[in-house]
Structure 1
Amino acid sequence: MARSRPVAVVTGASSGIGKAAALALVGAGFQVIGTSRDAARIAPVAGVTFVDLDVTSDESVDAVVRQVIAQYGRIDVLVNNAGVGANGAAEEFSAGRAQAVFDVNVFGLMRMTRAVLPHMRAQHSGRIVNVSSVGGFVPNPFMAVYVSTKHAVEGYSESLDHEVREHGVRVLRVQPGPVNTPFDANQVQADAPLAIYAHRRRVFEDVMRESMRGGEDPAAVAKVIAAAATDAKPKPRYLAGSTAGRVAVLRRIAPARTFDKGVRRLNRMTG
């Protein structure tokens, strides 16, 4: 009897990288369940079943994982893609506003991971692919809260991978550079803006828009996610796109002072 198709769950699959990843996994032979806060508003996508999910809710996460297991009997791949950006100087974010960003980008990912791990361990196989960012290993002024969430994802993912590998499960990171999506238009804004940062923040927003519009096609990142999900010998991390590759090389080989100056120059900062 032929084995049924492997099952993949992709969070934040309504648009951008998540939607492209869902399509790429369909093309790779997966039965794909895509999640969104409001699945009813998503146009049908061939091969993808959409369900409602709020990654900030334990109850929502547990219900979706139970639903998938009940219907398909297994989860072979989880792509933790759901996330939000955060725009503003670190000083302009209250602790509460920063916590809201962490609740999606970090704790949402942790909730999903904890919910699927028992099933993956029981079947002694599975891949968890966490969509990180070049911001997970380089600084980005006026994105300190967002960047700190991605640093957290990096540390969590790499550490967890060592914990679960002996149980047949791998935890992998995909690190895109700028991607041509509306990400910059849907960021969480600082809730305590200060006049002292206003000009520099506007400059950053211009740099960000230019970077995103010139960024990678989401399909290119999705191809890397599919590779992480299917490679016979997976790598702990996958750089996605030419910018990510260049930045990773520079971070590794450039003197710290030189790299620091490059960050400031890229962001049109003086001093």
Structure 2
Amino acid sequence: MKTVIITGASNGMGYEAAKLFANKGWQVFAGARRVKKIPTDKNITALKLDVTDSKSNQAFVTEILNQADRIDVLINNAGYGEYGPAEEISMENVRKQFETNFFGAVELSQLVLPTMRTQKSGRIINISSIGGDLYMPLGSFYHATKAAMQQWSDTLDTEVKAFGIRSIVIQPGGTASSWGAIAMENAEKNLKQNSPYQPLVVSIRGALSGESLGAGATSLQLAELFYKAATDEKPKRRYFHSMGDRAIVHIARAHPKLFIRVLTLILNRTGKQK
């Protein structure tokens, strides 16, 4: 039986991925702060995990190694959007964003790599976002964490290929989930009193709903993408849910002026709708 570790398994993509891998006969070690919300199945072991806490990360991997003789796949899925004006977000929340979205994934990868090297195989699947290449106002630190994850993952891949290990990035686009609503709640919380950035929040709310960028993928569809990245005989460096997601990343990277024009049109349109 193959073994997969999934972080952020209490909701959304992580929740659906835990169920999918379990249904496919994998031994699933699912981690989250809210253990009771992790799906239940005979193939799922639910474990407490706070990726921002180094002791929690170490205890999590130690417990897995006590129960399993190998680790085939680590899916670094835990993350959220600490939205708000770059000028006004507290440094405490900036650090929390990086600890959750980036540093936790780095530490967990360091903890599982010795086992993967010993067994001469393994995959580390890092859940980034199309937001690792493109951006919009209020998401500065979220985008920074996803860009950091991609650069780190690509570099890691060059270092571990020789050991039969791959480091892979998945870049979801808009998702049919509560992610956008939570990001906007954070944006409101991060606004200072009488903030001059209040109009931006109005403009961004519609864009983050996904309506301006097309229908988002469901959590199950993205879980299926996780499974494909974990099982492809020849894994790709990047995985996207749709051609649209791939195209907007290409535009943002290769044609930044065009991307800015499109972003400006979207913000102007959503702003007028409010």
Q: 1:252 to 1:210 in 2, by over 3 A?
A: closer
Q: 1:220 to 1:59 in 2, by over 3 A?
A: same
Q: 1:242 to 1:26 in 2, by over 3 A?
A: farther
- 1:144-159 map, 5 Å: 144-159=140-155
Separation in 1, partners of 2:12, 2:38: 13
Q: 2:180 aligns with which of 153, 170, 184?
A: 184
Is 1:84 the counterpart of 2:80 in the alignment?
yes
Matching residue of 2:256: 256
SS in 1 for 2:8: coil
SS in 2 for 1:223: helix
- 1:219-234 map, 5 Å: 219-234=220-235
The alpha carbon displacement at 1:37 in A equals 0.3
The alpha carbon displacement at 1:201 in A equals 1.2
Amino acid of the structure 2 residue aligned with 1:239: F
Q: Which moved more, 1:175-184 or 1:213-222?
A: 213-222
Q: Which moved more, 1:128-137 or 1:44-53?
A: 44-53
Q: 1:242 to 1:220 in 2, by over 3 A?
A: farther
- 1:64-103 map, 5 Å: 64-103=60-99
Separation in 2, partners of 1:38, 1:139: 30
**8 Å contact from structure 1 (residues 181, 213) kept in 2:** no
The alpha carbon displacement at 1:220 in A equals 1.1
Q: Which moved more, 1:199-208 or 1:243-252?
A: 243-252
Amino acid of the structure 2 residue aligned with 1:191: N
SS in 2 for 1:235: coil
SS in 2 for 1:90: coil
Matching residue of 2:20: 24
Separation in 2, partners of 1:7, 1:184: 31
Q: Scaled by the length of structure 2, what TM-score is found?
A: 0.90
Q: Which moved more, 1:224-233 or 1:234-243?
A: 234-243
The alpha carbon displacement at 1:43 in A equals 5.1
1:76-123 CA-to-partner distances (Å, cap 9, x unmatched) read: 100000001122121121222211110100111111111111111111
The alpha carbon displacement at 1:202 in A equals 1.9
SS in 2 for 1:86: coil
Is 1:202 the counterpart of 2:213 in the alignment?
no
Matching residue of 2:244: 243
**8 Å contact from structure 1 (residues 220, 241) kept in 2:** no
**8 Å contact from structure 1 (residues 180, 213) kept in 2:** no
Separation in 1, partners of 2:223, 2:39: 19
Separation in 1, partners of 2:60, 2:225: 25
The alpha carbon displacement at 1:49 in A equals 1.7
Matching residue of 1:106: 102
Separation in 1, partners of 2:266, 2:12: 25
Number of positions where the alignment pairs a residue of Structure 1 with one of Structure 2: 265
Amino acid of the structure 1 residue aligned with 2:195: A
Q: Scaled by the length of structure 1, what TM-score is found?
A: 0.91
The alpha carbon displacement at 1:181 in A equals 1.0
Separation in 2, partners of 1:39, 1:261: 44
Matching residue of 1:53: 49
The alpha carbon displacement at 1:23 in A equals 2.1
**8 Å contact from structure 2 (residues 29, 47) kept in 1:** yes
**8 Å contact from structure 1 (residues 179, 213) kept in 2:** no
